[in-house]
């Protein structure tokens, strides 16, 4: 059992949570249209610690969203997490960003497709069953009308994330359920991070890098 600081910065949602034994104690978030991570991440960390009535020295681990997602957002989150792990001498836990999105569908039945907006008709996507077993590798995917037809023909498919509107515009299959404008959050990280901590599934703080999936393109 552990006290874990959870950081999610892969999208516009700057999200900080503190969890004890996999249960969320406090959550601080700002999902404005513009990225606010550089200004608000450390403010939220301090506020979350204060609200939870603990100090940084009480933490047992830091969990961070590993990507894919925004290049700059991921860099800020991972750099902050690594810095805290170094200074506090505690382990670093990474959580795939698309896993967090899928866990927002807990309690639903069928197949889950996590989908983050990339460029034009492209998304970062991953596919899961209702027990969150990954059915297909994470991809940078150009959306087409037939992109998920094999899954749609066999089951209800829940599409979730800020890339969903792109697919909804070209998909009219009756088995498709769209959960639009949903963002990964530290809220869903609490339980996943606790399970990883129990299994000592941690990262090498010196060498860990975010999972960008694609090379950075300045624009």
What does the pLDDT read at residue 219?
Answer: 40
| 110-121: pLDDT as tens digits | 999 999 999 889
Residue 197: is its pLDDT beyond 70? yes
Predicted confidence at residue 216, as pLDDT, reads 42
Each residue of 27-84: pLDDT tens digit?
999 998 778 899 999 999 999 999 999 999 999 999 999 999 999 999 999 999 999 9
- Copy the structure tokens of residue 19: 């969890």
What is residue 120's predicted lDDT score, i.e. its pLDDT? 87
pLDDT of residue 36: 85
Report field, pTM of the whole predicted structure over 0.85: yes
Q: Taking CA 186 as the corner, what is the angle to CA 199 and CA 85, rounded to the nearest 5 degrees? A: 60
pLDDT at position 34, please?
79
Per-position DSSP letters for 169-196, written without gaps between them:
TT---TTEEEEET----TTTHHHHHHHH
Q: What digits encode the pLDDT tens for the residues 119-161?
A: 889 999 999 999 999 999 999 999 999 999 999 999 999 999 9
């Amino acid at each position: 059992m552990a006290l874990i600081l959870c950081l999610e910065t892969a999208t516009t949602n700057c999200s900080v949570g503190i969890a004890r034994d996999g249960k969320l104690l406090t959550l601080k978030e700002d999902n404005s249209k513009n990225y606010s991570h550089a200004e608000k991440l450390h403010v939220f960390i301090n506020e979350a610690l204060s609200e939870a009535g603990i100090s940084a020295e009480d933490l047992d681990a830091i969990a961070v969203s590993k990507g894919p997602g925004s290049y700059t957002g991921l860099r800020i989150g991972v750099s902050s997490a690594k810095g805290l792990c170094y200074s506090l001498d505690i382990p670093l836990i990474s959580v795939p960003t698309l896993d967090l999105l899928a866990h927002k569908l807990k309690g639903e039945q069928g197949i889950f497709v996590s989908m983050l907006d990339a460029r034009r008709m492209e998304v970062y996507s991953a596919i899961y069953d209702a027990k969150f077993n990954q059915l297909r590798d994470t991809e940078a995917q150009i959306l087409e009308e037939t992109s998920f037809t094999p899954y749609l023909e066999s089951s209800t498919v829940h599409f979730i994330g800020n890339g969903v509107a792109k697919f909804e515009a070209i998909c009219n299959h009756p088995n498709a359920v769209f959960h639009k404008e949903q963002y990964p959050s530290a809220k869903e990280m609490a339980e996943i991070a606790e399970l990883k901590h129990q299994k000592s599934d941690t990262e090498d703080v010196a060498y860990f890098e975010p999972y960008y999936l694609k090379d950075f393109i300045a624009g």
